[in-house]
Amino acid sequence: MAEKHVVVHGATCQCKFSEAPQTDVLQVKTHSKHFGNDKDGAKKLIATTKEIGQTLEANTFGKCKKQPTAFGYKPCQAVITEWSSFYEEVVLSNKGKILLEDSKASCPIGGPDCISIKNHGQVAELNKQNIKNTSPEVATELFPGFDLDDSENDILKIPNDL
């Protein structure tokens, strides 16, 4: 996947034809099985090419520049018809392919690739393995004054609910 982030439930999208740059939140509605960047496997469903139709939280990006009127622009009614630039190598149980941070969506009004991903929706979560994998030089910069080799060190006692 060449260092690209996988898009998950809660990602923000934006249409290039929105009058004012407005975003909407992608909702994964086509499966409940495959999770990304969610240690508990409970809320960050992986978005796929099957997220078609009205799959955004508000289903609007404000006013649409592609629909002018005498008094401005008509309200956007976002409907995703297809996705491009997705990860081709994996097909999930819903028969969809994984969306990446550079994936684009098409809309009947805006046309091909008018909707882009502004934020993939993943959030970095620190865990014990991250700390163990950190080089001593980096650890010293990140945690000055801590001896990460000390088994009694509080920095390694990360609560399970993180």
pLDDT tens-digit profile of 65-93?
Answer: 999 999 999 999 999 999 999 999 999 99
More confident residue, 43 or 101: 101
Amino acid letter, 59: N
Q: Region 52-68: what's the mean pLDDT? A: 96
pLDDT value of position 1: 46
Q: Region 29-40: what's the mean pLDDT? A: 83
Q: Region 41-60: what's the mean pLDDT? A: 92
* pLDDT digits 0-9 by tens, 103-112: 999 999 999 9
More confident residue, 150 or 122: 122
The tokens describing 66, both together, are 């592609």
Q: Where are the domains of the chain?
A: 12-119, 126-162
> What percentage of the chain exceeds 70 in pLDDT?
83
Determine whether 7 is exposed, middle or buried from the number of CB atoms within 10 Å of its CB (0-12, 13-18, 19+): buried
Distance CA(117)–CA(24), nearest Å, equals 10
Within the chain, residue ranges assigned H as helices are 128-133, 136-142
CB 48 within 8 Å of CB 30:
yes
The tokens describing 54, both together, are 């009205």
Other Cβ atoms within 10 Å of 48 Cβ, number: 27
* pLDDT digits 0-9 by tens, 104-149: 999 999 999 999 999 999 877 766 777 777 787 887 787 777 766 6
